[in-house]
Chains A and B, each alone.
Chain A
Amino acid sequence: MGLNRKELADKSSLHLQTDVLVIGGGPAGAWAALSAAQNGARVILADKGYLGTSGATAPSNTGTWLVPPGDNRTNIVERRWQRTGNLADQRWMLRTVDQAYENLLKLAEWGYPFPDDEDGRLYIANLRGPDYMAFMRRRVLKAGVTVLDHHPAVEFYFDGEAVTGAAGVDRQRDRDWRVDAGAVVLATGGCAFHERILGAAALTGDGHLMAAEAGASLSGMEFTGKYTLAPYGSSLNKGLPFRWASFYREDGTPILDADGRPLQNGIGEREKDIARAMIEAPVYAVLDQAEPALQDWLRRGQPNCFVPYDRAPVDPFAEMFRVTFRAEGTVRGTGGIRIATSDCGTDVPALYVAGDASSREPLVGGTSGGGGPNSSWAIASGWWSGQGAAAYARRRGDTAFCTSSRPLGQAGLRPAALAKGALTPRDVIDSVRAEVIPLEKNYFREGGRLQASFDKIDSLWADVKNHLSGEGTALTRLKAREAAAIAASGRWSIVAALARTESRGMHRRSDFKTSDPALAHSITLRGVDDIVASSAEQGQREVAS
C-alpha cells in the first residue's frame, strides 16, 4: 500500500537525483525540459505514457496563436482580450505570443518540416501533432535529458518548505520510482474526466491533485463548459470540419434556430443551439457547406478527422452522420493550477507549472484556449517554467537531497480509513462523470442542479478519501490514484461553478444569465478536503468541508 522509503531502497525500484524533474511529456513538458537543459540543469522527464505520443497535441493537428512582431501586435492582442470575458491579462497575452513566436522560429531553425503558404513563405502557425511531438522527442533526447516513458508520477515529496521531488510507478515493469529534484515542472495536462477524446486517456488531473496536496491553489476551475462536436461514438473532438456543417434530425429535417434559420457552422455562435437540440433528440450533420477545393484541403490537412468517416464508411460531405458533443474538461476548458510568478512558479516553492495543467485565465480568461492559444501557451509556459526551475535548482544547490522529506499523496494512495475493495476506480469515475459530463448539467448550468451535483460528489469524495485504494500492482495503484484525481477535479469544478453566480465565457448559468461586473476576477480555490474559495473582491470563504 502506497510508497515508502523502505520499498524504494529495494533493488526492484528506481531512485534518482536531478536538478530539474519535468512531469509530463506533451508539448509543455518537452519545451520545459529543453529550456531547463539549455539553462545548464540536469533534467529528467517522466511521462505517464510516451514522450512523442502523449497528451492532447500528439494525435491532433493544431494551430498556434501566432502574432508576429510589428505595429499591429498590440491591436491584435487588445481585440482578443475583449473576447476573454475581461479575465485575461494583456501583459501575459503579449509575452506569450512573443515567446511562442520566438520558439516557433527556433523549431524552423532546428529543421522541423513546416509547410509553405501560397506565397512560398514558411507557415509556422500550424503544428501537425504526430510530427511535432516526434520531432520534440528527438530534440529533448539530443539535449541530454533522461526520459522515463511509462513512469506516471503519483505524488510529491516535501520537506516542510518546498517540493523536493516526486514518486510514481513504472507501469511496464511494475515497480516504484522516486526522483529527488532541486525543482519540479508539472506539465501533466488538463483533466478530461475520462471522456474518450484524442489524447485524454492520461489526462486525469493527477497533477492538479498532487499540486493541491502540496498547497498550490487552483484557479478558473469553473470554466469546464467547453464541448466540441465529434462523429458519434468517435474520439475525434476536432471542431474545424464542422465549420462547414449543416445540422439535421434523423429523418433529414433541417434543425432550425429560434429565428427559423437552418443551423449551420458548429464552431460558431450557433454551438449553444446545437447543444440545446442535442438534449432533445439525436443530431445529425453533413459537411455540405464545403466547396470541392475545401473538401480536398480538409482531407489532406486534417486527415485524423476523416479516419472515422473512411472506416465507417460514410461520405461526410454528402451523407448524414450522427454527431455528439464531447466534453473537454479543463483541457479545452481553462482552469488549472494557479501561476504565481512570471516564470510560472506556483504558490509552492520549487514547484513550477506549464501547459494545460496551469490555469490559462491570464491568456484566455473565461473562454476556451482550445487550439491556437493553448498550443502557444504550452510553448511559452514550458519555456519559462524550465528557466525558472533551472534557476531555482541552481540557487538551492544540493539541499533538496539532504533534508528529510515526506510523501504527500493521500486520496487513492493512502486511504484515511479502512480500504474498501468494493469501491472501484471505475465506479468513482462513472459517478463523477454523471455530474460533470451531461450537457443539461454542465453546458447549461443552474444553481439548484449544481448544488445537487455538489452534494453527490462531496459524499463520493468522502468515500474516495477514506476508502479508495489500489493495493496490488503498479497499474492498480495508478488507476486508484487517477480516479481520486478525477473526483477531486470534478469537485473543484462544481465548487467554483457554484461560487460564480453569473454567466461568463463558457460558464453559462440559466439562473444568472448575464455577467456581473463585480465578478470580473478569478476565483481561486485552495485545499483538497476543505476547499477555500477566494477572489480579489470577496476575500476568503470556506465553501466546502
Chain B
Amino acid sequence: MIEVVSESRCVECNICVKVCPANVFDATGGVPVIARQDDCQTCFLCEIYCPTDALYVAERADGPLAITESDVEERGLFGSYSRALGWKRGKPGGSELDPTHRIRVAQV
C-alpha cells in the first residue's frame, strides 16, 4: 500500500489527491498526507500520475511494511513503475510498444 510521500520530491500539485480512486490522500496546503492508508488498493496508479515521482506504493496490499524514503531512494524505486510503462512526468506513454500480443500467441 501507499507508504511514502517524498517531501523533497513533492511539488504540492495535489494531483494524487485528485486521482487516487480510493481517496487515501488529503490536501493540506503543503505536501499532501496519507490520511486513509488502509483504504489503499495498491493499484500503483498514484505513482504514475505523480509528475515528480514523489510517491511510493509498497508491494504488500494487506498492510504497511514501513519502508522509509531513504530505502526507496537508495534502491532506485521512485518512478520505477512509470518507467516500466513508459509514462513520463505523470503523462501516458508507451502503450504503442506493448508486446502483449506476443504473450497471447504463446499463451495458447
> Which residues of A are interface residues toward B (Cβ below 8 A)?
48-50, 52-55, 58-59, 61, 63, 112-118, 123, 125-126, 128, 130-132, 134-135, 149-150, 171-172, 196-202, 231, 233-235, 240, 243, 294, 296-304, 306-308, 310-312, 475
Contact = CB atoms under 8 A, between A and B. Distances in A.
A294 B106 CA distance: 8
A117 B101 contact: yes
Interface in B82-108: 84-85, 87, 92-104, 106-107
Contacts of A49: 20-23
Nearest to B42: A235
A114 to B, nearest CB: 7
A297 B100 contact: yes
Given A59-B44, A114-B96, A54 B107 contact: no
B59 A307 contact: yes
B18 A123 contact: no
Given A63-B100, A202-B21, 12 more contacts: A53-B19, A53-B21, A55-B21, A114-B95, A115-B96, A130-B45, A130-B92, A202-B22, A235-B42, A303-B84, A306-B84, A307-B80
Contact of B44 (A201, A202, A243, A304): A304
B59 A308 contact: yes
Q: Which 7 A-B pairs have the closest CB atoms?
A: A49-B21, A59-B43, A303-B84, A201-B41, A301-B100, A235-B42, A235-B61
Contact of A50 (B19, B60, B104): B19
Given A130-B85, A235-B61, A304-B44, A54 B99 contact: no
A117 to B, nearest CB: 5
B13 interface: no
Contacts of A294: 102-103, 106
B21 to A, nearest CB: 3
B96 A235 contact: no
Contacts of B106: 294, 297
Contact of A303 (B43, B49, B81): B81
Interface string B10-52: 0000000111111100000000000000011111110011000
A123 B99 CA distance: 10
A171 to B, nearest CB: 6
B63 to A, nearest CB: 8
A298 B17 CA distance: 31
A259 to B, nearest CB: 23
B98 A115 contact: yes
B74 interface: no
5 contacts: A126-B100, A128-B100, A130-B45, A197-B41, A300-B99
A301 B99 contact: yes
B81 A304 contact: yes
A54 B42 CA distance: 13
A294 B43 CA distance: 24
B43 A311 contact: no
A240 B101 contact: no
Q: Which of A130, A197, A297 has the most CB of B within 10 A?
A: A130
A49 B45 CA distance: 12
A298 B48 CA distance: 20
Contacts of B58: 311
